[in-house]
Structures are given as structure tokens and as C-alpha cells.
Amino acid sequence: MKKVYANATEALDGVLSDGMLIAAGGFGLCGIPELLLEAIKDSGVKDLSFASNNAGVDDFGIGILLQTRQVKKMISSYVGENAEFMRQYLSGELELEFNPQGTLAERMRAGGAGIPGFYTKTGVGTVIAEGKEHKEFNGETYILEEGIFADLAIVKAWKADDTGNLVFRKTARNFNVPAATCGKICIAEVEEIVPRGSLDPDMIHLPGIYVHRIVQGNHEKRIEQRTTRKKEDA
């Protein structure tokens, strides 16, 4: 089965459609599948729903799809650093489903494991719990959260072999692993494709069975918030 594609556009060929739910990896500006997001923008598909920890910034990540009005709903835990996101949400142009960060990660993981729902204490007694089933276990109240089953998962890894085994680098591992598992189709963009058998099996973070297509490319190294201090006099 061919998994390696020449570029992001080819990797997405025949996969995209209007109204689909996409699970995207990344945390802040780290581990974002930027090449695939750019190709999704260029494809012109619309009315998309994204399950992602955040929506990037105004000119990077999912933020570029917000600028072109291709996103109708975000399922996220953090929506700061993005003025266009805020504008669309406050004006009623964009649907938002807030999730506590751990709940969002578990919803993706659950979907990848075929689990339709789970109970958690997180959010009990807050607006997060409104409209959700409540149940008591050992005298404690829990709310029911549903697993996420996405039409497509897009992730960004450090290394891959041609069978789709993935290695993520440091913080970029974040949401990429659970996002990858919960998609019916998973496409990974990577910094480097290495020969089959060269990856230490104990260092593989995501087995290739979850990954359907791979594309190698060049990526930006952005800093979300740069903090500096004046040089002290010698």
C-alpha cells in the first residue's frame, strides 16, 4: 500500500469534502500540520468543523482557514492569540464547543479506541456540564462526554518510515497522537522520511497502522510569544 505522497495537495486528493469533521494535531504553534492546512485552504472546501486544541494565530495554522471563512465550528480548549477567531465567535459567525484540555484529549483518544463515551468529573457544576448526562459513581457526580470520531485526521511528526510509523519531537507530540487515532483517514506531514527498519521500535510514538498517507516537507519554526530582556552591562 502506497503511503508516501509527493506533496500535501496530492496526499489530500479524494479525501476532502464540504462539511467534514477534521481532527488536527498541534499545541499553540508547535506540531501544527501547516502544509496540510495550507492545502486544505487552497482546495476551497467549506463548512468544516475542526477538533483541535486551539485555532492557531491569525496568519498560521487553522487561523488561515478562519480568514477564508472555511471553518464553521471549532471544538477546542484554548482560543486565545487569534483576533479573527474572537471576531467571528462574538459576531455569531463561528460555532464554538469549549472542552477542558484533558477532556478534549480523552475524547480524541476514546474515539481512536472505538469508545463512544466516558464519564469525567471535569466540568461538573460549570457551563461545560449543561445539557450533558450526569451520573453518580461512589457518591461522586460525573458527566458524560462523547468520543470524537473524525472524518479526517491531520498531524505533523518529526520522522516517519514509509510504512507510516511516526516519531514526534518533544512538545510536538502533544495532541498529535490522539488526533491521529480518531480519524477514519489519517494523513501525516513529516520533516524526514527515513529507511524502513531504521526507527527504534521503542521510540515509535504512533504505529503505522493508524497512518494512511505521508508527505515530507519543509516547516516553519515559529515562536508563539517571544520574551526578551535587555542585556545587562558588564
Q: Residues 140-189: pLDDT tens digits?
A: 999 999 999 999 999 999 999 999 999 999 988 989 999 999 999 999 99
Q: Residues 56-107: pLDDT tens digits?
A: 888 888 999 999 999 999 999 987 778 888 899 999 999 999 999 999 999 9
Strand partners, 48: 71
- Is residue 207, in this structure, part of any structural domain at all? yes
| CATH of residue 164 | 3.40.1080.10
- pTM of model > 0.85: yes
- Is residue 232, in this structure, part of any structural domain at all? no
- Is residue 62, in this structure, part of any structural domain at all? yes
Question: Residue 176: which residues within 8 A CB-CB, separation 6 or more?
Answer: 25, 26, 31, 155, 156, 157, 168, 206
Round to whole Å and give the CA distance between 125 and 104.
18
The whole-number pLDDT of residue 56 equals 81
- Is residue 10, in this structure, part of any structural domain at all? yes
- Is residue 155, in this structure, part of any structural domain at all? yes
Question: Residue 117: which residues within 8 A CB-CB, separation 6 or more?
Answer: 110, 144, 145, 146, 147
Q: Which amino acid, 83?
A: A
- Is residue 90, in this structure, part of any structural domain at all? yes
- Is residue 222, in this structure, part of any structural domain at all? no
Q: Residues 95-139: pLDDT tens digits?
A: 999 999 999 999 999 999 999 999 999 999 999 999 999 999 999
Q: Say how many Å lie between the first and final Cα of the chain, rounded.
A: 62
Domain that holds residue 121: 4-216
